[in-house]
Structure 1
C-alpha cells in the first residue's frame, strides 16, 4: 500500500468504513478469499450484508491501481464466490482519464479529503515513557478525574511512587499535554493525549475474535452474558468500550454489538453457550487483557463493566472512529 503510516491508515480505514456505512467493529469481512500467488491483495476487505468490498487506498489513482483491482475481481469470479462483490478505490485525487475508466468498470470512487492525515503523527511524538502502561495510566486517569492537583497527591491517590508520578507528568509536559501552575498540574491538550493513546495502544490489537449471538438488543445480550459467567464460578470478564461507556455516561451508542474482555481459555465455553449460526443478532467483540482489570469491575443495570479508567483507555485506543463517545467520557469523567 502506498500510504505506509499505520496511524494515517487507521484514520482512513475509519473514514472509508463510515462512507460505506459499516459500523465500527464489523470491518473485518468473514469471507473465504483466494488470490492465488499474487504478490498483492486488497488494502481493505469489508463486508456489508451480502456485499463484499475489495478496496484499494491511494493518494492518487493510476491505471496500474485500476488494473490490479480488476485482476482481483477476475480471480474472485473465477473462484465462484457466492457473495456479491464491489470494487472500491479510496484516493485523494482521481485524474479524469482514470475516473472515466473506473466508471466503465463499475468501480466505486471514494474521495478522501486532503485534510485526512495522521493527527497522532503530527501532534504526538513517542518517548521512552509509555503513557498507556498500567502505572502511567493510573496517574493520567486520576489527573483527568481531579482536573487540577499536585504530583504528590496523584501518587498518593493511585498508590504509585512519587518518582513514577513525576516521570509520567514530566513526559506529558514535554509533549505539551500537561501544564504546571505553581505546585499544581492539569491537562492542557486532551486531543493530543487521546491521539497519543491511539498511537501507542490500538485497541484492535487486543481482539481475540468476534462471535454472533442470537439476541436483538445489545443490553439484553450483555445482561445474559453477565448472568451466565457469574453462575460459572464467577469467571473473570468485563464489558468495555461502547458497552461500558453507555452505562457510565448515558450516551446512546452501538445497539448491535457488545465489547467484552475475557480470558482466552473461556472462549470455547462462550461459544458453546451463545454462538449462533445466524447472520443476524448481536455481535460480541472479544478482547484479551494486557493488564489486571477484572478486580476493578463494577455492575450497573445487571451488566458487569470494567472501570472508568479502563473504559476510557480502550475508547481512546479506537482512535477517530470512537472520538465522539471518548470525548463525552472525558467530559463526564470527574463525576463518574
Structure 2
C-alpha cells in the first residue's frame, strides 16, 4: 500500500466518514479468520467494530480496475456462506482515486466508497470534515453555486432560482452550516469560508477520479488547440465542453496553461478523438479527457471560438483540481458574481 493505511489520521478520517463513534473497536485480522474458521482471500487493512456491525476496510491509493471490488465481494460471499448468526458486515473501500465505472459498481454491490484526500500533504482533518450529505452532487452544487453568486439570500430563494425542492436546498445549506462554510442570520444565509468550501470540493470530487485519458495532440499551444478541437467536434455533432484550466483561463483572463487542454468527452467518443487529434509520436501538448458525471453539455458557452463548460461547472472542476489550480480557482471565485 502507498498509504499508511493504519495511521491514526486515516482511521479517524474513515470513522468520521462512516459516522462511527471514536471508541469503535479496531480488530486484528486474526479475529476474522477465527470467526470464519478459514483463511481469507486477502487481509483487510482495517477492521472496525461498532455495536454488532463489522466494517471491513480496504485502503488503496487508486481503484482503476475491478480487482479490489472483486476481492471484497468474494469476502462477503465467504461470510454469507459461513451460515446464519454472524454479525452484519459492511464492506468499505477507502481510496484517493476511483474511476466512475468502479465507483458505480461498488455502489450497486452495496460497498461503501470513501474518498481519501489525494493532495500530498493535505491534512486529514482540520480543513474539512466529511458529512453524510455531499455538496458536489448535481442538485447540491446548483444551490451552492447560486449562493456564491447571490452572496446573501434565503434558502427558499435558492430553491426557486435553481428549480430544486426546498427540502433539498435546506439539507444542502444545513451541511454547509455544519461544516462552518455558511452562516445563517435570521432567514438569510451567506458563505463565510470560501477556502473551506474549495477544500471540501477537492475532497468530495477530485477531478482525477473523472480522468479517462491523457492524449498527446499535435499542437504547441492550448488555445489554438481548443479552438480547432471545438470546430471539428461541433461539426461532427459530438458533445464536448472544455473545462478546468482551459475554461477557467478563458473566463478569468488569467494566464492560460499552455501545455494541456482539459475537456469533457463521453468515453464512447474517445477513440474517435484520438483518431482526429492524436499525435502517435507523443509530441505536442496533452489533452486531458474527463468523463462527465452529470450533464455538462447543456449550459455551455462560447469564448473565442471555444466551447466551454458553464461558469458553475468550471468552478466546481477547478476546485476539484486541488492546490495545483488554487490561484486560478480563487480568480474564478472573485469574478463569479459577474459571470
TM bracket, shorter-chain basis: 0.5 to 0.7
- Aligned counterparts of 1:315 and 1:5: Cα–Cα separation in 2: 31
CA contact (8 A) 2:250 2:256 kept: no
- Aligned counterparts of 1:138 and 1:319: Cα–Cα separation in 2: 20
1:302-321 equivalent positions in 2, closer than 5 A: 302-321=305-324
Q: Identify the residue that residue 243 of structure 1 maps to in structure 2.
A: 246
Q: Does 1:165 align with 2:169?
A: yes
1:319-334 equivalent positions in 2, closer than 5 A: 319-334=322-337
Please list every run of 5 or more consecutive structure 2 residues that lacks an aligned counterpart in the other structure: 11-59, 62-119
Report the TM-score when normalising by structure 1.
Answer: 0.65
1:65-84 equivalent positions in 2, closer than 5 A: none
Q: Identify the residue that residue 270 of structure 1 maps to in structure 2.
A: 273
CA contact (8 A) 2:147 2:153 kept: yes
Distance 1:3 1:253, change over 3 A: farther
CA deviations over 1:233-286 (Å, ceiling 9, x no partner): x21100000100111110113111000101111111111111112333121000
Please list every run of 5 or more consecutive structure 1 residues that lacks an aligned counterpart in the other structure: 10-42, 45-115
Distance 1:202 1:272, change over 3 A: same
- Aligned counterparts of 2:276 and 2:252: Cα–Cα separation in 1: 30
Partner SS, residue 122 of structure 1: coil
CA contact (8 A) 1:258 1:285 kept: yes
CA contact (8 A) 1:214 1:278 kept: no
CA contact (8 A) 1:213 1:274 kept: yes
CA displacement at 1:5 relative to structure 2: 9.3
Say how many residue pairs are matched: 230
Distance 1:159 1:5, change over 3 A: farther
Q: Identify the residue that residue 230 of structure 2 maps to in structure 1.
A: 226
Runs (4 or more) in structure 1 with deviation over 6 Å come to none
Q: Identify the residue that residue 116 of structure 2 maps to in structure 1.
A: none
Partner SS, residue 254 of structure 2: coil
CA contact (8 A) 1:120 1:196 kept: no
- Aligned counterparts of 1:304 and 1:265: Cα–Cα separation in 2: 20
Q: Identify the residue that residue 298 of structure 1 maps to in structure 2.
A: 301
CA deviations over 1:51-91 (Å, ceiling 9, x no partner): xxxxxxxxxxxxxxxxxxxxxxxxxxxxxxxxxxxxxxxxx
CA displacement at 1:320 relative to structure 2: 1.2
CA contact (8 A) 2:143 2:169 kept: yes
- Aligned counterparts of 1:209 and 1:225: Cα–Cα separation in 2: 16
Q: Identify the residue that residue 50 of structure 1 maps to in structure 2.
A: none
Partner SS, residue 147 of structure 2: helix
Q: Identify the residue that residue 126 of structure 1 maps to in structure 2.
A: 130
Which of 197, 213, 218 aligns to 1:214? It is: 218
CA deviations over 1:186-244 (Å, ceiling 9, x no partner): 10111111111111111101011011111111000001100101111x21100000100
CA displacement at 1:123 relative to structure 2: 2.0
- Aligned counterparts of 2:154 and 2:6: Cα–Cα separation in 1: 37
Q: Identify the residue that residue 141 of structure 1 maps to in structure 2.
A: 145
- Aligned counterparts of 1:250 and 1:204: Cα–Cα separation in 2: 24
Distance 1:2 1:165, change over 3 A: closer
Distance 1:5 1:123, change over 3 A: farther
Q: Identify the residue that residue 175 of structure 1 maps to in structure 2.
A: 179
